[in-house]
Amino acid sequence: MSKTIFKIIFLCTFFLFSCENKKPSQKNNVKETNPGVVISFDDATINEWYQADKILRKYSWKATFCVSKINTLSHSEIKELKQLQKEGHEIAGHGFHHFDAPKFVAKNGIEAYIKQEINPMLALMHFHNFKVTSFAYPFGFRNINIDKALLKKFKIIRGTTYGAEDPFFQNCYYNNSSVVYAIGIDTDHPNFSIPYLVRLLNYAKRKHKILILFGHKPVQNITADYQTKIATLKLICNYVNQHNMTFYTLSELNNLK
Ligand SMILES: [Zn+2]
């Protein structure tokens, strides 16, 4: 009798421990939910992106380059983009013509939009072996109907957001949705400031969030609109490294769902 009880206790203990052992390995599989940032760039300043990567690779950074007008790029720019993809950066779509999507769709319909703005972009980008699974709206202009059509073609689509409200009210953090919003890091982006950027980063770290950022042309010294200061990028990279946060690409967000 006591032997049977002993056996039962032994078996129960065995199962308990074998279950316990599974938990840490499951936890390891979801380590992607570490707080972090997505740094994205729009348009087609390929040379400046390539130069920025030379400066920032020491931080093991990762960025998403959202390319528009791929048909206008030179052979050497395509080569640089390919090199960026090879290093682990993501190459995403930003429109064949860089159309204002809602305006174009209102006038010509969604089918014409997909046919003129999306399909030729994807065909040419695939021809160059870019694995395009994300799309960033030109000017951030979007609506739900276009989102719906684009989500048949892309895993993640990115709009933009503005303002300088408390980070709690900002929608520039990943929210488990396929439609995400980035806040600008160009010096001329409305309400951009280093103290506010640091507040957004602090909130991401504290609340285990992923902050989504976008800029255009990385430069050492600002000479025009749509430029991101290299110093701003260094600050972000330093912050991510110092706080053991993670650099995510746009499409990697899709794997976290
Ligand atoms: Zn753009």
- Domains along the chain with CATH numbers: 36-254 (3.20.20.370)
Question: Token pair 């997505």 is at which residue?
Answer: 38
Q: Which pLDDT score is estimated for 257?
A: 77
User: Regarding predicted confidence, which is higher, 80 or 13?
Assistant: 80
Ligand 1 centre to CA of 188 (Å) is 14
Ligand 1 centre to CA of 99 (Å) is 9
Ligand 1 centre to CA of 203 (Å) is 27
Q: Which pLDDT score is estimated for 6?
A: 55
Considering the chain, what is the average pLDDT of its residues?
91
Average pLDDT of the residues in 115-139: 98
Ligand 1 centre to CA of 94 (Å) is 7
Looking at the chain, which runs of residues are DSSP E strands? 36-43, 63-67, 90-93, 134-136, 156-161, 179-184, 210-215, 217-219, 227-229, 246-248
Ligand 1 centre to CA of 46 (Å) is 13
Question: Does the pLDDT value for residue 5 go beyond 80?
Answer: no
> What's the rounded Cα separation, in Å, for the pair 40 and 216?
8
Give the tens place of pLDDT for each residue, 145-195.
999 999 999 999 999 999 999 999 999 999 999 999 999 999 999 999 999
Ligand 1 centre to CA of 42 (Å) is 5
DSSP assignment letter at 59: G
Ligand 1 centre to CA of 140 (Å) is 8
Q: Which pLDDT score is estimated for 33?
A: 79
Ligand 1 centre to CA of 63 (Å) is 16
Ligand 1 centre to CA of 100 (Å) is 9
Residues ≥6 apart with Cβ < 8 Å to 170: 161, 163, 183, 200, 203
Question: Does the pLDDT value for residue 32 go beyond 80?
Answer: no
> What's the rounded Cα separation, in Å, for the pair 89 and 85?
5
Handedness of CA 109, 113, 114, 119 (dihedral sign): positive
Ligand 1 centre to CA of 11 (Å) is 63
Question: Does the pLDDT value for residue 23 go beyond 90?
Answer: no
Ligand 1 centre to CA of 17 (Å) is 54
Average pLDDT of the residues in 88-103: 98
Give the tens place of pLDDT for each residue, 198-210.
999 999 999 999 9
**Strand 210-215 to 156-161 pairing:** unpaired
> What's the rounded Cα separation, in Å, for the pair 10 and 32?
37
User: Regarding predicted confidence, which is higher, 13 or 205?
Assistant: 205
